[in-house]
């Protein structure tokens, strides 16, 4: 083949590759990727607000009372031990305990969730994890639905009873730092990488990515609300909210999607699970704190 | 007449089957409803998650589903034909209306409490001496100037029509 011919062949095969990619990968826009550290202290590079909330027991109550400064506490003043008031999260905890005990009479329910020697201690801090039984990475609430079904009980992911059990299970890890490994190669790391990309993918009627608000607008006002850092959020979910009663992390994604006029996904969807892994990795090193409340 | 109806019907069936085979199964939708989008409703002391219709259908735009094949509408450059013929009073209404511009979420506008602080303050806008065309393009599709802009592409995404954007330009240009 002469050089022009080779160039021509190369040109056409390049076109072909371009077409093939266009067919299975639709046009998408991404916010510029941040350099994330899968640990809560990574926020020092993003918003720097971590310095104000890294010690949950000793928050500055004056900042909590100041409308200009309270977002810098990442709303942690609404978590225990700072917040000692009784709220809907405590009722959920009680309900979760009674359903859990009913389902776990033979110890099978806890074992199915991944408890070691029947103990729930530390279990929440290791979620989401790869579950060989499902052959994929699953969040705590997806497992509660799955293991509940095996005991003959309907506990849909996102439902009140499911989240109530999740709060009860999490309460055994209170004070223990979230600890999921997304740096050694494996399904969890792959899920983290997909989640990181999704976090930066523009979608919906306003063409916004999660990061359009949660990295570019931290500390800025969207009308009356101030956006906070995505670091450190996963430790207080499911959370009590007056409007939602009890909200799992994946239902929070659905709320943010709807607020930003993006079609929401079903709980347990692969995409929301990937986002959950990403958001949870940004909370590595921060202690589980339930029951919590938010506005 | 009859033939053309059959053709329309046939092509509708074809395009529907084309959509449904590509339709992601993990969207929160009720496929038979006019407004397909659903929002979750948590019911106290229940193991079931309820879903209620959302006020708008959002299935026309890409979601975060891995199976979503809908492309994001690409940035568009537009020309503005003068005269502007915009109505500044209508423009102000659009800037405050929740399901229209709702510019106030991000921008400070004169005489309004609780403004957003994400975009620049739009107070004495006239002093910038921007051309109508530039302001029209910024609202129609700001990605033409800044690919990383977080301001929604109101024109390209069909949130506002051309006349509505003309009204907004007239409103901003009237602020001195």
Whichever domain contains B94, its CATH number is 1.10.760.10
Cβ-Cβ contacts under 8 Å, A267 against chain B: 40, 49
CA distances from A2 to A9, A13, A113, B93 (A): 11, 17, 65, 66
pLDDT bin (cut points 50, 70, 90) of residue A21 is: very low
Query: Does A127 reside within a domain?
Result: yes
**Are residue A67 and residue A152 in the same domain, yes or no?**
no
ipTM more than 0.95? no
- With H, G, I as helix, E, B as strand and everything else as coil, classify residue A94: helix
Q: Taking CB atoms and an 8 Å limit, are B58 and A262 in contact across chains?
A: yes
Distance from CA of A98 to the nearest CA of B (A): 12
Query: Does B59 reside within a domain?
Result: no
- Name the pairing type of β-strands B49-53 and B38-42: antiparallel
Please check the confidence at residue B100 and state whether its pLDDT lies above 70: yes
pLDDT at A23: 55
**Are residue B160 and residue B92 in the same domain, yes or no?**
yes
Q: How far apart are CA B123 and CA B134, in angstroms?
A: 17
Query: Does B81 reside within a domain?
Result: no
Q: Taking CB atoms and an 8 Å limit, are A244 and B116 in contact across chains?
A: no
- With H, G, I as helix, E, B as strand and everything else as coil, classify residue B5: helix
Cβ-Cβ contacts under 8 Å, B159 against chain A: 205-206
Query: Does A22 reside within a domain?
Result: no
Mean per-residue pLDDT for A133-140? Answer: 97
**Main-chain dihedrals φ then ψ at residue B120, nearest 5 degrees:** -65, 155
Q: Looking at A114, A137, A171, which one is the last position of a domain?
A: A171
pLDDT bin (cut points 50, 70, 90) of residue A205 is: very high
Query: Does B147 reside within a domain?
Result: yes
Domain CATH for A193:
1.10.760.10
Among partner residues B65, B150, B157, which is closest to A205 by beta-carbon distance? Answer: B157
**Are residue B104 and residue B154 in the same domain, yes or no?**
yes
**Are residue A159 and residue A212 in the same domain, yes or no?**
no
**Are residue A116 and residue A250 in the same domain, yes or no?**
no
Residue A9 half-sphere exposure toward CB, CA atoms < 13 A: 5
Residue A150: which domain range? 88-171
Among partner residues A148, A162, A263, which is closest to B63 by beta-carbon distance? Answer: A263
| Mean of all residue pLDDT scores within chain B | 89
Distance from CA of A257 to the nearest CA of B (A): 9
Q: How many domains does chain A have?
A: 2
Cβ-Cβ contacts under 8 Å, A265 against chain B: 26-28, 63-65
Query: Does A18 reside within a domain?
Result: no
* Mutate which: A95, A157, A264, A278, vs B, most B CBs within 10 A: A264
Q: Looking at A145, A171, A197, which one is the last position of a domain?
A: A171
Residues paired with residue A174 on neighbouring β-strands, in sequence order = A288
| Mean of all residue pLDDT scores within chain A | 92
Among partner residues A216, A224, A245, which is closest to B150 by beta-carbon distance? Answer: A216
Tokens of A236: 């207080």
pLDDT at B13: 38
pTM for the model:
0.91
**Are residue A149 and residue A37 in the same domain, yes or no?**
no
Helix (H) or strand (E) holding B13: helix B2-22
Measured CA angle at B71 (ends B67, B76), to 5 deg = 165
Mean per-residue pLDDT for B66-94? Answer: 96
**Are residue A163 and residue A279 in the same domain, yes or no?**
no
Q: How far apart are CA A155 and CA A194, in angstroms?
A: 27
Cβ-based neighbour number of residue B57 at 10 Å? 16
* Chain B, nearest residue to A250 by Cα: B40
Query: Does B37 reside within a domain?
Result: yes
Is B29 within 8 Å of chain A by CB?
Answer: yes
Residue A172 burial (C-beta neighbours within 10 Å; 0-12, 13-18, 19+):
middle
Query: Does A225 reside within a domain?
Result: yes
Query: Does B73 reside within a domain?
Result: no
Instruction: Tell me how many residue pairs between chain A and chain B have CB atoms under 8 A apart.
Output: 162
Is B58 within 8 Å of chain A by CB?
Answer: yes
Q: How far apart are CA B156 and CA B142, in angstroms?
A: 10
Query: Does B31 reside within a domain?
Result: yes
**Alpha helices for chain A (secondary structure H):** 3-24, 43-46, 50-53, 61-64, 88-103, 108-113, 140-150, 160-171, 187-199, 210-214, 249-259, 270-281
User: A142: cis peptide before it, omega within 30°?
Assistant: no
**Are residue A165 and residue A185 in the same domain, yes or no?**
no
pLDDT at B112: 87
Q: Looking at A171, A195, A216, which one is the last position of a domain?
A: A171
pLDDT at B21: 52
Residue B49: which domain range? 2-53
């Amino acid at each position: 083949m002469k050089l022009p011919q080779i160039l021509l062949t190369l040109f056409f095969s390049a076109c072909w590759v371009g077409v093939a990619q266009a067919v299975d990968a639709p046009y998408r826009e991404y916010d510029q990727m941040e350099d994330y550290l899968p640990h809560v202290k990574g926020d020092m590079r993003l918003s720097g607000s971590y310095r104000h909330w890294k010690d949950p027991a000793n928050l500055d109550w004056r900042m909590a009372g100041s409308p200009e400064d309270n977002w810098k506490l990442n709303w942690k003043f609404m978590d225990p031990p700072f917040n000692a008031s009784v709220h809907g999260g405590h009722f959920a905890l009680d309900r979760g305990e009674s359903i859990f005990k009913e389902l776990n009479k033979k110890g099978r329910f806890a074992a199915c969730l991944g408890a070691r020697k029947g103990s729930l201690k530390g279990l929440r801090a290791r979620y989401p994890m790869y579950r060989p039984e499902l052959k994929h990475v699953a969040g705590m609430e997806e497992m509660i639905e799955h293991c509940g079904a095996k005991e003959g009980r309907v506990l849909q992911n996102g439902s009140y009873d499911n989240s109530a059990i999740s709060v009860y299970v999490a309460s055994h890890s209170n004070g223990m730092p979230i600890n999921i490994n997304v740096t050694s190669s494996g399904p969890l790391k792959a899920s983290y990488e997909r989640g990181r990309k999704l976090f930066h993918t523009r979608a919906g009627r306003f063409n916004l990515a999660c990061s359009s608000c949660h990295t570019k607008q931290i500390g800025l006002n969207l009308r009356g609300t101030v956006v906070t850092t995505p670091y450190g959020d996963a430790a207080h979910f499911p959370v009590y909210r007056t409007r939602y009663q009890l909200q799992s992390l994946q239902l929070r994604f659905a709320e943010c999607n709807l607020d930003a006029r993006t079609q929401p996904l079903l709980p347990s969807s692969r995409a929301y699970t990937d986002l959950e892994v990403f958001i949870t990795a940004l909370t590595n090193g921060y202690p589980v704190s339930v029951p919590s409340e938010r506005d | 007449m009859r033939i053309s109806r059959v053709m329309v019907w046939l092509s509708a069936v074809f395009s529907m089957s084309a959509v449904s085979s590509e339709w992601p199964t993990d969207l929160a939708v009720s496929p038979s409803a006019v407004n397909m989008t659903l929002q979750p409703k948590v019911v106290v002391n229940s193991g079931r998650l309820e879903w209620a219709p959302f006020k708008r259908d959002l299935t026309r735009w890409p979601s975060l589903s891995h199976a979503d094949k809908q492309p994001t509408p690409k940035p568009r450059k537009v020309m503005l034909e003068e005269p502007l013929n915009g109505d500044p009073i209508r423009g102000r209404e659009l800037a405050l209306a929740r399901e229209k511009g709702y510019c106030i979420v991000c921008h400070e506008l004169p005489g309004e409490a609780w403004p957003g602080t994400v975009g620049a303050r739009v107070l004495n806008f006239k002093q910038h001496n921007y051309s109508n065309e530039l302001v029209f393009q910024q609202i129609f599709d700001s990605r033409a100037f800044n690919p990383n802009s977080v301001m929604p592409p109101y024109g390209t995404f069909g949130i506002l029509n051309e006349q509505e954007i003309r009204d907004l330009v007239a409103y901003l240009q009237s602020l001195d």
